[in-house]
Chain A
Amino acid sequence: MDIVANTPAQPPKKRVIPWNTLLIYIVFAVIFLFFAITLHDKGFLQPANLMNIARQTAMISIMAVGMTFVLSAAEIDLSFCAVVALAAVTVALLLPYGMFIAVGAALLVGALCGLINGLFVSRVGIPSFLVTLGTTGIITGITRWMTGLQTIPIDNETFTFVFGSGDFGPVSVLFLWMIAIALLGHVLLRKTRFGKEVLASGGNKISAMYSGIRVGRIKLYVLVLNAVLAALAGILYAGRLQSARYTLGENDLMMVIAAVIIGGTSLFGGKGTVAGTMVGALIMGMVNNGLILMGLNIDQQLIFRGVIIIFSVTLTMGHLRKKH
C-alpha cells in the first residue's frame, strides 16, 4: 500500500446565478406585464381585482402544495379532484350537526381516501397512477350517489365566513388560508426530516431505502397529505360558494399539475419547492383572471389556457432538457 499525506480541501468557488430557478419568476413577470398592459383599462391592476386573483388561486394553490409532495416523491394522484367534491358534499350534509363535526368529518373522509390510495401503492405495490385512476371513479360515484346529483345549500354563516366567504378588511380569508398552507408546506418540505425523506424517496428510492428511509410509508404519507389538502380545498369551495355540488373540482386537475410543474417540481421525483409551486399557481390564477377580463368565452379560455401552460412549461423546463 502506498502512502500519501493530506491535501487541503478545495476552497469554495464563486457563486453562479441560478437561472433555472429564476426563470419561473421571469415567466411570471412577463405574463403579469402582458396582462397589466393589455388589460389596463379593464382594471387588471385594481387592488380589488388582484385580491380577486388571490381568491381564485387559493384552492388551486392549496391543492398544488399537496401535489408538490406527491410529485416530489415520484408518485401521482389523479383522485384529488374527486376528493374535493366528496369533502365539500360531506361538510355541507353534516353542517346541521355542528361546524366542527362537519369539517372534521370532511377532513377525515379525505384522509381515508388518501389512506386507501396509499395502502394500495405502498403495500400492494400498484403504481399510484392506476390506483388513483380507479379511486377517482369510486369516489365520484359515491359523491353522486350521496347527493342524488343535487346541489346542497349551506346557510351556516360562521362556517361560510371562516371557510371562504369572509373578509378581514380588504383581505379575503381565502388568502389567509392559502398563505398558511403555503408556509406550512414550505417548512415541511424544506426544513423537516419528512420533507428530505420525501425528496430522497422520489430521487432514488433504492438509495433512500439503503439509507434507512421507509420509502413505502413516505409514499403513503404524501398521498394522505395530498388528499387532506384536497379535502380542505373542497371545504373552502363549499364555504365560498355557500353550497356544495358533486362537480366541484372537476376542472382543477390540469391546473394543479401545471402549477406544480411550472413551479419547477420534477414529474419524475426528487425535485420540488413549495415556493415555486405558489408562483406556478399564481400564474395559473392570473391567466384565468386575465382571460376572463379579456372577454373570452369558455371555449376560447380553454384553448388559451392550454397554450399558455405549454409555453410556460417549455420555458421553465428547457434547462432540464439540456443537462440530461
Chain B
Amino acid sequence: MENRPLEYDYTIAKMFMFTTILLGIVGMLIGVILAFQLAFPGVNLILGEGLAEYTNFSRLRPLHTDAVIFGFTLSGVFATWYYVGQRVLKVSMAESKLLMALGKAHFWLYLVVVVAVVVSLFAGVTTSKEYAEFEWPIDIAVVLVWVIFGMSIFGLIGIRREKSLYISIWYYIATFLGIAMLYLFNNMEIPTILGTSASGESGIGSWYHSVSMYAGTNDALVQWWYGHNAVAFGFTVPIVAMIYYFLPKESGQAIYSYKLSLLSFWGLMFVYLWAGGHHLLYSTVPDWMQTMGSIFSVILILPSWGSAINMLLTMKGEWQQVAASPLIKFMVLGSTFYMFSTLEGPIQAIKSVNAIAHFTDWIVGHVHDGVLGWVGFMIMASLYHMAPRVFKREIYSKSLMATQFWIQTLGVVLYFTSMWIAGITQGMMWRAHDEFGNLAYSFIDTVTVLHPYYAIRGVGGLLYLVGFLMFAYNIYKTMSARPVEEHELQNASPMGA
C-alpha cells in the first residue's frame, strides 16, 4: 500500500462523464422532437390527447434548453474540471479525503437537482424566466451544488504543486465566479405565500411558487444580462478552458502564444458582461444601453477570435494531424465554428440587422451553430481524449469516430443553413408592406413558406443525435476494450481500427 505510486484519481470525472452522455441523449432527443413538432404539429400529440399536456412543444422546450445547458454542458464542464484540474495543478484528488468527499457530494447533489428539475418542468412548474425556470427550492439546491463546486476548485488549487495556474484554470475559475454572480442576481425571487397582494390577499399560490423581485423593464434587463452571460460563462468560457488544454495535449503542440491567451482572457471578461443589451434592441430599455449593447457585441469579436486563432495557429505546421485524427478534426472544426458564431452574433447585434433578425429562426440557427458545432464538438472531443486515460483503454473505433464526425458536421450544416433561410425569409415577410403601409403577409403565410426548412432542420438535428448515439456507443465499448500501456497515453489518444 505505502509504496504504491501516486496517481491521478478520476472517480468524479468518470461520474460526470456518465451524466454528460446521459443528459446529452435526453436533451438532444427532446430537441429533435421539438424540431419535428414545429414542422409537423401532429407530433405534439405523439402519445395521444390524454398525455398532450406533457408532450406539447411548450412543455418540452424548457426541458430541452435546461437539459442541454445545465445537464449536458455543465456535466461536461464538471467532468473536464475533475480531469484537467488535477493534471495541470499536478496534484491528485487521492491526496485529500476532503476533496474526494466534496467531489462525491457535488455529483450526488447535482443528480438530485437534475431529477427535481426534470420532474418539476414536466409537471409544468416554472418561473417562466428563460434558462432560469427553476422555482426557489431548486434554486437553493443549485446554489449549494455551486458552492461545493467552488470548494472543489479552490481546495485543489490550495494543495497544488504547480505554482502558476494554467490558462484553462483561469477559465474554470471565471466560469465559477461568473455563473455564481449571474445566477444569484437573476433568481432573486419572493415566494408568493409570503406576499400580500394590492387587494390584501395573502398566502397566494403553492408554497413553491415565487415571483421575481424585479418588475417590467428592470426584469427584462436583469434577465438578459443573465441570459446572454449564461452563454458567456456556460457556452464560451468553460469550453475555451477545454480547448486550451485538450487541443495542445492531443496534438502535442504548445499553445501558439501563451501571452495572447492571457490577453484574450481579460478581453473576454471585460467585454462580455456588457453585451447582453443586444437582446433588448428596440425595446423599452434606455437607448444608450441598446447602443452600448450593440457596440460591445461587435468588439467581442476581438477576444473571441483571439482565442480561436490562437488555437488554429497551435496547429501550425501540423495540419497533417487534422487529416489523420478524427479527434483533432472535432477540435479544429469546433474552433472554426466558434469563430463563425462569434462573427454571426455581432452581425445580428447591429441594430439594422437586428430589425430583421429578432424573433426569427435566424437566432435559433445562430444558437445552434454555436452549441452544436462548438460546445457539442468540444465536449465530445474532450471526453474522447479523456476516455483512454481514465479507463486505461484504447478508443474502441477510430472509423466510427470519423463517421460520426461527418454525420454530425452534415447535421450542423443542415441545421444552420435551413434556419438562416427560414429566419431571413420570415424577417423580410413580416415587415413587407404595400405602398399604403398595409402588411403584405399574414402570419400563416410565413408558416406555410417555412415548412420545408423546418423539416430540413429536423433532419439535421436527427443526424446530430445519431452521431451522439455513436459517440455514446464508442465510449461504452471503449470501457471494455484492450488495456493500453501508460506510455502510449503521452499525447495523441490511441485509437482502435
Task: State whether these chains interact.
Answer: no
